[in-house]
C-alpha cells in the first residue's frame, strides 16, 4: 500500500512543481544576425518589410529575433574598397552576440579592382567567422553563396567570377571549417525576372532567399 502511494506521488510531482512556479521566465529568443552587403540590407526591394531578414524573422516566429546587419557595397575582402570588417555594422553585429550568423558576402568582391586581391578572400572569410565564434563559442555560422548575376551584370559586378571563383572558395571555407553552406545561386536559375537590375533581387527574390535560409536553419535545428 505504501509503495503504491509513493509511486502515485511520483507521477504527479513534476506537474506540482511546475504549478508551483508559474513565474518562471520564458527562454530568451534565439538571436540571428544577417551579415551581408546591399542584397541583405534591402537594395532592390521596394517594400522594406520584404527584405530577406524581415521575411526570415516572420518565418522563424516569436522564439527568434532577427537583426539586419547588411552594408551596401561591402566586401568580404579586407583589401576591398569597402571591407565589411571595417564597418560599424560589423561591430554592431558582434555586440549583438548572436546565436546564429548568416553570412552573405562576395558579390562586390567580383569587381575588377577588388578581385585583383582575391588571394585574401578565403583567409578574410575565415577571419570574419572566427570573430563571431570569439564572442560566442556556441554560435552557429552559415555561409551563403551569392545569388546569380544575370546577363553582363551591373556596377562592375561579374557573374562569371561569382560562379567560377567565389562559389568554389565558399565551398572550400565551409568544408575546412565544417560549417553549413547555403546555396543561394541554384534557386535563382532561370529567374532573371526576379533580379531587375541583374544584381539585386526584388521582393519576390528576397522571398526565395528568406525561404532558402529558413529551410537550412530548420534542417540544422
Nearest of 36, 60, 77, 61 to residue 201 by alpha carbon: 36
pTM of the model: 0.87
Neighbours of 108 (CB within 10 A): 27
If pLDDT is split at 50, 70 and 90, which confidence band does 26 have?
confident
Mean of pLDDT over the chain? 90
Mean pLDDT of 7-20: 40
> Cell 552587403 appears where?
37
Instruction: State residue 168 phi and psi, 5-degree precision.
Output: -60, -35
pLDDT tens digits for 186-211? 999 999 999 999 999 999 999 999 99
Q: How far apart are CA 42 and CA 63, in angstroms?
A: 23
Domains and their CATH numbers in the chain: 29-220 (3.40.50.1110)
- Grid coordinates representing 202 are 526584388
Q: Are 108 and 73 in contact (CB under 8 A)?
A: yes
Q: Are 213 and 102 in contact (CB under 8 A)?
A: yes
pLDDT tens digits for 121-137? 999 999 999 999 999 99
Q: How far apart are CA 142 and CA 128, in angstroms?
A: 12
Q: What is the pLDDT of residue 41?
A: 97
Q: What is the pLDDT of residue 22?
A: 52
Instruction: State residue 204 phi and psi, 5-degree precision.
Output: -65, -35
Amino acid at each position: 500500500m505504501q509503495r503504491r502511494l509513493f509511486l502515485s506521488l511520483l507521477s504527479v510531482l513534476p506537474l506540482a512543481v511546475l504549478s508551483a512556479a508559474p513565474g518562471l521566465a520564458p527562454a530568451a529568443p534565439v538571436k540571428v544576425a544577417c551579415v551581408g552587403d546591399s542584397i541583405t540590407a534591402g537594395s532592390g526591394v521596394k517594400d522594406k518589410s520584404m527584405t530577406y531578414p524581415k521575411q526570415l524573422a516572420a518565418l522563424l516566429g516569436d522564439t527568434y529575433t532577427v537583426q539586419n546587419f547588411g552594408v551596401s557595397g561591402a566586401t568580404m575582402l579586407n583589401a576591398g574598397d569597402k571591407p565589411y570588417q571595417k564597418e560599424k555594422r560589423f561591430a554592431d553585429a558582434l555586440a549583438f552576440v548572436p546565436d546564429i550568423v548568416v553570412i552573405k558576402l562576395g558579390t562586390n568582391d567580383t569587381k575588377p579592382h577588388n578581385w585583383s586581391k582575391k588571394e585574401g578572400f578565403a583567409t578574410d572569410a575565415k577571419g570574419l567567422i572566427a570573430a563571431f565564434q570569439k564572442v560566442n563559442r556556441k554560435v552557429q555560422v552559415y555561409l551563403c553563396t551569392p545569388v546569380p548575376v544575370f546577363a553582363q551584370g551591373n556596377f562592375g559586378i561579374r557573374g562569371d567570377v561569382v560562379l567560377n571563383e567565389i562559389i568554389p572558395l565558399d565551398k572550400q571555407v565551409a568544408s575546412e571549417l565544417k560549417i553549413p553552406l547555403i546555396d543561394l545561386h541554384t534557386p535563382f536559375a532561370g529567374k532573371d525576372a526576379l533580379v531587375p537590375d541583374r544584381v539585386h533581387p526584388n521582393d519576390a527574390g528576397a522571398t526565395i532567399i528568406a525561404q532558402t535560409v529558413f529551410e537550412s536553419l530548420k534542417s540544422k535545428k
